[in-house]
Structures are given as C-alpha cells and as structure tokens.
C-alpha cells in the first residue's frame, strides 16, 4: 500500500511544522509519500528518504511546454520561453494549456518572454483559460506562491524582498553576510523553499538561489522595491571592493558575484551613480583577470551613462574614462586609449589638482600609453612627474610609488638607457617583495621586467633563471590563460633562444601564440608579436611590460 499525503500545509509563523503522522495515522505501517514546499520533519524512528525536486532540465522543459501543442515554431523560440519561466513545471503547464487552447501564439509568447513581469503575464493567461476548464484545473502563480509567502515571518519577508533583487544564479554567502541576514531567517527561507540549495566549492561558499519566478512574485509584494534594490547594490559593492579586484586569491568569489551585479545594472534606473559604479567594478575585475574583450562593454556603458547623466567632469565620469582607456590599451588600441587618458588627465587636473592620487594615476597611465606608441621621451617625462608626485603624496613604499618607479624604468629602457632601467627595477623588485610579497602579480611583473633588462645586457642565463620563476609564479597566481602568463611564456622563449635552445624556444612560442589568439584575438599586437617570434629571429623583440 502507498499512502500519499500531498501538499502538507506549511506552519504558521511562530509554530513548528506539524509531523506527517498528523496526516497519516498509519505511519510506520505503510509506505508514505509526502510532498510539501516546507522541509517537514517526520516523527518517529522510521527511515526517511528526502527527495529535493528542482526545476526541469532544458529538454524536459521544452517537452512539457510543447506537449500536444498543434502549432510549430523554431526550437530556439521554445527554448527561450522555457528559460523565461526558469524551466518551472507550474508555469510551463499554464503556458502549455494556453498554447493548446490557441490563447496565444509561440511568437506572442516569445515577445512576452522579452518583457518584465513574468508572474503577471502568466497569471493573465490563467484568467483567460479559467472559464473554459473545470474548477481547480489551473491556478495562478501568484495564488500558488502566496500560500507560502504569507506564512513567512516579517523578517524573512524583508530578507526575501532584498534577495529577490539579485539574479537567479547561486548567491555567495558573503553577499548574504553583507546584507546582515540573521541565521534564523536564512534557515526559514531555505526550510520553506524560497531559497534552493547550491553546491559550494573550496573557493566559494554558496547560500543558494532564488528561482526567477519566485523573485518576480516577491518583487511584486515589496512595499519599497527601490530601497530593497539599494540594499542589494550596497552588498555587492561591499564584496566586489576596488581594493581586492586585482587579487587573484578572491577572483572566483568575485566572479560568482558578477551575475548579481549584472542583474542589478539592468534594473537600476533611479540611481545612475550606482549603475556607473557597478559597471566600473565588473569592468575592472574582468580587466584584472585578463578578460579585456568582455570588460570593454561594461567600460563603454559606464562612460556613456556617466557622461549623459553626471556630466563630463564628474569624478565617476573621469574614472570611467580612465578604466575604458586602460582596457583599450590592453586590447591594442593605444591611440584610442591615449585620447581618453588625455581627456581624463585634463579633467582630473581641473577637478582635483595636480597632486591628487587620481590625477597622478591618469598621468602614469597616459605615460604608459605614450610608451606603447613609441614616444619614449614623452613617457619618461610624465613618469618622472608622476613618480615625484606619488613620493610626495603617498610615500616611498606605497605600491603606486613602486608602480611609477617600474614604469619609469621601462621608459628608460625604451629610451636606450638599459643599465639605468636595470638599476631602478632592482629597487622596484625589492620594494614589491617587501610590501606585497613574492607571489603578488606586481612583484612577478617587476621580476619579468628585470629579467628583460638582463637579457638586453647579454645575461641570457640570468634572464632565463628569473623568467622561469616568473612563468611558474604567473601560472600559479593568474592561471595559464592570463595575458601576463602568456607574456612571461613569450619572454622565457626569447631567453631560451638567446641561449641557443631553439627547440625549447619554438615550443613556448607556439604555446604563447595559441594562447594569445584564444585570449586576445588574431588582430592584437601581442598576437602579431608571437607570430613574428615564430617566423623571424626574435632577438630584437624585447619589450618589458608596464604596470
């Protein structure tokens, strides 16, 4: 005998859930199948198998959506509609009924999927169908979910309304911590299935995820959605902090926050400053990870919104211009980067003055772009000015002061003063190791640059030894596909070639070329550099990397 207890009622606030033996008096004597949105505990010592029912996989969702539907459509249309409702059976059954009753066409349904207001759209179809089917055959999404929502405590409802502002992807626990949601509230949301579980990793602890249909429903219950959105934005800003964007140790965690930042960006209409700020944070993170082709879209949008809403000389606008410029430089568009850096530098001088850290950063960045464009003298002059300012404002041991020393050394290298560059880079390397440690990307970068000066001075063996450490460090810290790792691979190949190890050099050059094509694209200057190194003698191709 199978005894079915379907849809066990959820507990009212302040009371524990009632055990299943209330609904099945023969518990322990028969096999029982009980269903509930609440994770109900069974009384007694009987063995219990809990089965968590998630949404359907994409193929199954499309099959449920299109079952017995007498019209045909492009498979992409069906997949789009199924994604719109998050592959949730409750909504797919309503949509399937509407299609079979010719209440809506696939094209019209695809247009609905492109709009906000999912619950309202689906419930409108329910009302169209209701007069033509037996009572209780269809039910609205809002009505179904409201049964659970009203049983939440007020604290849980408040937390759910804020979490509903985030994306449907798994929510990192640190975001929930930043929202200051109490442990008992977290337990309530999970126990009542407002949050579905997600598998954490060694790098990222996950609280769970809120289904997009649930989030749309809860968003409609909010009394102040704008305030909920501001709380969510503040939580993302707290975690995706500018101070840690270039730290590879937290990249996986920050990457898990990016979908939630994107979700908020798409919905911020009343707070353009926050919208610009979130775009900048995501863009800077992607750039730091070497994903400049993805970063540039966020950077361009940040500049466009900031100029339109905040004006050309707002600090956020100038910062966005700086971010876009360094991304364009990474993509090989040095001329476009130079124009933006000049504009940002002029604006920051007017707004902040010559000695402000942001002004000195723009000066440093413009100088690096000038060096890329071959203006070694102009780069040297600006780097000397930026270094003097940073020493005066930040002190001798600040990482940005070391950055200016590094970049001045590269300008000296480009100007032909290789010995002067080496002497300065030795100081930079020692300073970075002291302040940031051996495994920081800036330390490895300065080691790479020092090795390049050794190679230029004829010490190929010394350069090789340093570059082997750099290459190993970059792979460990940044990963195999980061542009910095690929550059260190290229430079190690040059050192091997100078030592007569043509086979070893060729193998590394081929790997560097494949990686640069994959990461940077066929038209990037560094990709062309790798092609040149494979097809010509590369001894004269010696260009250290800026910071």
Would you say residue 278 has pLDDT above 90? yes
Q: pLDDT at position 240, please?
A: 96
Give the residue with greater pLDDT, 132 vs 325: 325
Cα separation of the two ends of the chain: 72
Give the residue with greater pLDDT, 5 vs 348: 348
Give the residue with greater pLDDT, 201 vs 153: 153
User: Phi then psi for 374, rounded to 5 degrees?
Assistant: 95, 5
Q: For residue 334, what are its two tokens? A: 């040095």
Q: pLDDT at position 540, please?
A: 41
How far from 446 is each of 80, 113, 329, 462, 488, CA to CA, in Å? 49, 51, 19, 15, 11
User: Which residue is it, tokens 């002059």?
Assistant: 381
Q: Quick one: average pLDDT of 132-143?
A: 73
User: Which residue is it, tokens 């001045």?
Assistant: 408
Q: Are strands 171-172 and 206-208 parallel, antiparallel or unpaired?
A: antiparallel
**Which stretch of 10-24, 102-116, 357-371 has the lowest confidence by average pLDDT?**
10-24
User: Which residue is it, tokens 């050192």?
Assistant: 495
What is the per-residue pLDDT across 287-324, written as a single tens digit (0 to 9) for each?
A: 999 899 999 999 999 999 999 999 999 999 999 999 99
Would you say residue 46 has pLDDT above 80? no
Q: What is the 3-state secondary structure (H, E, C) of 138-207?
A: CCCHHHHHHHHHCCCCHHHHHHHHHHCCCCCCCEEHHHHHHCCCCHHHHHHHHHCCCCECCCCCCCCCEE
Q: pLDDT at position 345, please?
A: 97
Using CA atoms, how far apart are residues 512 and 489, in angstroms rounded to an integer? 6
What residues have CB less than 8 Å from 65, skipping those under 6 apart?
78, 81, 82, 92, 95, 96, 99
Task: Provide the 3-class DSSP secondary structure of residue 545.
Answer: coil
Of residues 229, 259, 62, the one with CA closest to residue 168 = 259
Q: Quick one: average pLDDT of 84-93?
A: 88
Using CA atoms, how far apart are residues 171 and 198, in angstroms rounded to an integer? 9
Assessment of whether the complete model's pTM goes beyond 0.85: no
CA 329 to chain centre: 21
Most distant CA pair in the chain, distance:
91
Q: pLDDT at position 519, please?
A: 86
**What number of other Cβ atoms are within 10 A of residue 367's Cβ?**
29
For every residue of 26-58, DSSP letters joined together read: TBTTBEEEE--SS-PPPPSS---------PPPH
pLDDT tier for residue 430 given thresholds of 50, 70 and 90: very high
User: Which residue is it, tokens 């000389």?
Assistant: 313
What is the per-residue pLDDT across 173-186, written as a single tens digit (0 to 9) for each?
A: 999 999 999 999 99
């Amino acid at each position: 005998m199978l005894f079915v207890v379907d849809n066990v009622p959820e507990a009212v606030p302040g009371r524990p859930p009632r055990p299943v033996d209330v609904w099945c008096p023969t518990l322990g004597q028969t096999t029982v199948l009980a269903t509930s949105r609440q994770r109900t505990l069974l009384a007694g010592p009987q063995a219990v198998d809990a089965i968590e029912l998630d949404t359907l996989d994409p193929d199954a969702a499309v099959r449920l959506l299109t079952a017995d539907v007498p019209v045909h459509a492009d498979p992409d249309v069906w997949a789009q509609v199924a994604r719109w409702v998050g592959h949730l059976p409750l909504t797919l059954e309503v949509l399937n009924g509407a299609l079979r009753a010719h209440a809506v066409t696939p094209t019209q349904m695809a247009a609905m999927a492109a709009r906000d207001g999912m619950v309202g759209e689906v419930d409108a179809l329910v009302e169209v169908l209701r007069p033509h089917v037996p009572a209780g055959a269809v039910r609205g999404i809002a009505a179904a979910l409201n049964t659970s929502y009203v049983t939440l405590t007020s604290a849980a409802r408040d937390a759910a309304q804020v979490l509903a502002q985030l994306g449907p992807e798994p929510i990192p626990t640190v975001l929930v911590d930043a929202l200051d949601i109490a442990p008992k509230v977290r337990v309530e949301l999970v126990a009542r299935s407002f949050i579905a579980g997600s598998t954490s990793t060694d790098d990222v602890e996950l609280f769970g995820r809120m289904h997009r249909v649930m989030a749309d429903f809860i968003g409609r219950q909010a009394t102040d959605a704008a305030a909920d959105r501001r709380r969510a934005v503040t939580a993302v800003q707290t975690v995706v902090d500018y101070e840690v964007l270039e730290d590879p140790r937290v990249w996986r965690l920050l990457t898990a926050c990016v979908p939630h930042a994107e979700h908020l960006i798409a919905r911020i209409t009343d707070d353009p400053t926050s919208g610009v700020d979130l775009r900048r944070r995501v863009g800077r993170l992607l750039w730091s990870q070497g994903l400049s082709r993805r970063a540039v879209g966020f950077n361009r949008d940040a500049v466009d919104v900031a100029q339109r809403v905040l004006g050309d000389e707002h600090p956020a606008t100038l910062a966005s211009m700086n971010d876009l410029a360094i991304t364009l430089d990474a993509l090989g568009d040095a001329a476009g980067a130079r124009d933006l850096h000049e504009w940002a530098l002029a604006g920051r001088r007017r707004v902040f003055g010559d000695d402000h850290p942001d002004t000195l950063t723009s000066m440093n960045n413009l100088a690096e772009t000038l060096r890329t464009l071959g203006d070694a003298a102009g780069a040297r002059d600006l780097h000397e000015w930026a270094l003097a300012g940073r020493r005066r404002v930040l002190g001798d041991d600040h990482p940005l002061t070391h950055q200016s020393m590094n970049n001045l050394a590269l300008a000296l290298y480009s100007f032909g003063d290789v010995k002067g560059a080496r002497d300065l880079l030795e100081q930079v390397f020692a300073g970075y190791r002291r302040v940031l440690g051996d495994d920081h990307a800036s330390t490895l970068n300065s080691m790479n640059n020092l090795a390049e000066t050794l190679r230029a001075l004829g010490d190929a063996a010394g350069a090789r030894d340093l570059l082997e450490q750099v290459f190993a460090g970059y792979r460990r810290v940044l990963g195999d596909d980061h542009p910095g790792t690929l550059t260190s691979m290229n430079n190690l190949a040059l050192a091997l070639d100078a030592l007569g190890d043509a086979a070893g050099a060729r193998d590394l050059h081929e790997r560097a070329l494949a990686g640069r094509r994959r990461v940077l694209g066929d038209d990037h200057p560094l990709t062309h550099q790798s092609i040149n190194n494979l097809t010509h003698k590369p001894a004269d191709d010696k260009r250290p990397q800026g910071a």
